[in-house]
Structures are given as structure tokens and as C-alpha cells.
Structure 1
């Protein structure tokens, strides 16, 4: 989301991902199954199976546990999965969410700490990673910043996906990294606010009601109309797939949107804050 746990929106396949994908394809073909047939067994589309086999999508443990019996139940798939290398900027608890995020039909984010990762300018992202404790090396900061910028390409490369953001006003007023970084960051957000598939709303400081007091959250809707949520804390994150729990968080976000400034008024506020710097 906003911290140091990003992965590129459509990351370049690593050698280990390509190797694992080829292994899946080999087992599938040996079993005489089409991608569509395997997809039915593991509850994924044939396109998702293709992405895994081509090394473009990182498989997760759920896929492995469902695919193993379908592909011979020899244990070979589990062993191969254990050798899949992580992508730069990829945290273990973020893996499943990142995979779901790349296929979502809508994404929503509420933040009260930092500008959401999908809206961060590169200078702002570098300021975020520069404040990490324990400190990151220059190379680590570079890797994280590149991963964040790559993930951000989703906003422009997926015009049919809806992106919604609610951000507390104090977040956009905080001059993390200094006044110049703050100016660049506000310009960055204002640029994204012009996209038809992006809505940015600011929760004003003088608002007397607030549905997001339990902290930041991210929500998505899958192509098959499932609603999921993701909650991130210090050094950890949780994917919430239980339908009832996810529904509660989606209702909270809907209330947040009704309490925040409209997208048009939010842009006006961002412009005023930018003019004050």
C-alpha cells in the first residue's frame, strides 16, 4: 500500500518464475489438460493459468495446493514452488494481494499515514523509503522506488479499471522530504486526478465524523465479483477474504467517501495547498 512492501504492477518475470511456469505447463500437458481445464480445478481463468505458465504472474500457496492433486499429486509442484524467487520490493504478506490487484476490476484505498503508494511521486517514495528503520542502503531505496513506480503504471495502462482514493487532509499537508518534494507530490496527485478512471477524495480536517478511525485499508473487486480487503500494519499485512468481514470494510469505505470532500472539491483543496507552498 504505502509502506515498503510494493511490487511492480506487472513485474518482469524472474528466471525462477519462468522456470516454475514452464514446470506447471509441463505437468499440465503431461496430465492431458488444457489451461481452461486446469483453471476450472483451481478456480482461475485460462488467462490466469497462461500468466503463471509464462512467468508473468506469481503463483501462491492456494494455487499450488489446489493444482498439486490435479497434476499428479507427486509433491513436485510444492517443491518447485519453494524455489520461486521473490521479485524486488516484494514482501511475503503482500504476494497474494499483489496478484489479485493486477486483475481487479476496481481498487479502493483509504490512507491516514502517507500518500497511497499508487499516487506517490518518485521523490516522495524515496523520502518514504529514506525514513525506514533500520535504514535501507541506496541500492535498496532504488529497488523499492523502481518497484513502486512500476506498480503505479496500472493507473494509466488499465483505463477500464476504477481507482478510488480517500486520503486524510493532514497527509497531503505534511511536507515529507521538504517543500519541493511536497510540491512535486501534489502536482503528481493533481495529474492523476485528471484521469477518468481515478477519483481522489480528501477527508477534511474539520470533518466531525470519520468512518476510518480503525486505520488504512485497501479494497478490490475481482472479475468474478468477489470483494476482498487488505489491512496493513507495522511489519505485517492481512488479506481479508471472508465475505462478511470484507463486506464490513467495503461499507466503511463507502461511508468514508460520503464523508470526504467530493472529487472536484478535493482537487480545489489540493490546488490551494499547492499554492501555499
Structure 2
């Protein structure tokens, strides 16, 4: 899977990989106590730490891993005597996300540009709930119901980035074959296409489809992930079965950027891609 789940999307495998949510709840309570001590509402606190109100609410409820800038700004804004920083030290993992994906997930949450090419499964940030559930139901070793629901919740939570980080540019290049495979069945595929068409309407999201028949293809080496941080550093990421690797070597990152740029010219334009998705949706 990909995105730290074994199947494209951002959750953990079975066997104790996810962190218990209690530590996130505890951190959220610490922030909430100091926020109330400062006589601030979430609406007043959010702009001071430069995050949205929904993000603050999610962190205080223990449903979202706090980005490092949030921790530092909260500590300063709330004059928390080091308590918020101390509580954050115990948050080494995000719930429902595999350990090897942790570092990339943190960078992803702060990225100002995020580029993704996938040829295996729909990326986690674009998966509909029914598509993600179909992946978990087909995972081996099998997951129990509790594991499926926990991982599904983590994946849906992660997708909020697309709507919350409106100043981040998200680019996705997807192989046409991902939709022709009909993972999960016809109805699941319909819902997956509808979901992507809905996301493609966002101004900060561009979806391009790579034609099924393409004699020249710069992505034959496999999936590509790239991101740019707020301080304008670029990183790459690649993932196999039960493992992932963060690429920091400028030469490797440059090579991945070159391949991704070429694929952008080889794939259908965003407008033509939307038309193709609608055609495939109508043919189901």
C-alpha cells in the first residue's frame, strides 16, 4: 500500500503500528486548558497561531497531529511555561499512520507545493470513503473492524489538508488504468470518480490523467511524490511494501522533479482530464 498504509493512502498496517489516540487527546487538553487560561476562544486563538479554527478544534479534540509550528506558536502565544512543548515530545506518531510515513506526513501538513504521481492505486488524499474502505477490506493480513474504522478515520482526517490549506498547490497525475480497474466494484468506482471531480473544482487542486496508451512516459520507474516546504526546500518520497524512504539528496530530488515536469506535459490537461473522468463515469 502507499501513503504509509500498504495501500495508497495514509494509514497503518496491523500489529501495533498506530499510536493510541489517548496521547493526542492529552496534548489537546493541555492546549485547551492554557487557551482558556488566556481567556481566548478558538476563533481568537486560531489567527494568533496562524491556523484555521477547524484545525485548532481538531487538535484540541485529539483528532489531528499538531504540526511543529503550531506547537511553538501555541507555547509562545499562551505563555505555557514549556508545558505544551513538553506534551508534544510524547507525540512521536500519528494515529492510524505507519511509522515509516510519519516524517513525510509532517512535511506534507506544512507543504506549499505537493506533487503526486500514482500508477498503483488512487492517492490517499483523493480517495473516497468507499474506495478507502475497499482497500482495507482487501488488505492482507486481514484487518479487524476496529482497525479498519481507525485507519479509515485517519485517512479521511488527512484529506482535510486539501480544503484547509488553500494556499498550497496540489498537483496529481493519475494513470487512466486506476479507474479502469474498478477497485471495489462499479459503484465504488463511480463514487471515487465523483469524489475526484468534486476535489478538482478546488482552485488549489489540479488533477491530470495519464492516457492508458502512451508510447513515451517519464514515470516508468514508479510513483513520485515531491513537496516544497515554507522555507523553499524540496523533498521527495518513495514507498514500497511495508517501507518508505524520504529523499533529501538534491540530485535525487532534482531527478524526480525533472520526471514529474515531463509527465505534466505527457498527461492530459486538467480540463481534458475532467472531461475524460466524466466520460468514464458515464460509461459505468
Q: How high is the TM-score relative to the length of structure 2?
A: 0.73
Residue 174 of structure 1 deviates from its aligned partner by 1.4
Query: Per-residue displacement from partner, 1:58-84 (whole Å, max 9, x unpaired)?
Result: 67xxxxxxxxxxxxxxxxx8xx95x54
Residue 18 of structure 1 deviates from its aligned partner by 7.4
- Other-structure match for 1:92: 99
**Counterpart check, 1:165 vs 2:172:** yes
**Counterpart check, 1:269 vs 2:276:** yes
Residue 241 of structure 1 deviates from its aligned partner by 1.0
Superposition pairs of residues 213-228 of structure 1, within 5 angstroms: 213-228=220-235
Aligned residues: 228
Residue 3 of structure 1 deviates from its aligned partner by 6.0
Q: What is the distance in 2 between the residues matched to 1:179 and 1:16?
A: 40
Q: What is the distance in 1 between the residues matched to 2:238 and 2:206?
A: 21
**Counterpart check, 1:246 vs 2:253:** yes
CA contact (8 A) 1:7 1:98 kept: no
* Cα RMSD (Å): 2.9
Q: 1:198 to 1:113 in 2, by over 3 A?
A: same
Residue 86 of structure 1 deviates from its aligned partner by 3.4
**Aligned partner of 1:57 among 43, 66, 75:** 66
Q: 1:18 to 1:125 in 2, by over 3 A?
A: closer
Q: For structure 1, list consecutive stretches of 5 or more residues without a partner in the other structure.
A: 24-45, 60-76
Q: What is the distance in 1 between the residues matched to 2:227 and 2:240?
A: 18
CA contact (8 A) 2:235 2:246 kept: yes
Q: What is the distance in 1 between the residues matched to 2:279 and 2:139?
A: 30
**Aligned partner of 1:6 among 4, 10, 32:** 10
**Counterpart check, 1:119 vs 2:126:** yes
- Other-structure match for 2:162: 155
Q: What is the distance in 2 between the residues matched to 1:247 and 1:181?
A: 37
CA contact (8 A) 1:106 1:163 kept: yes
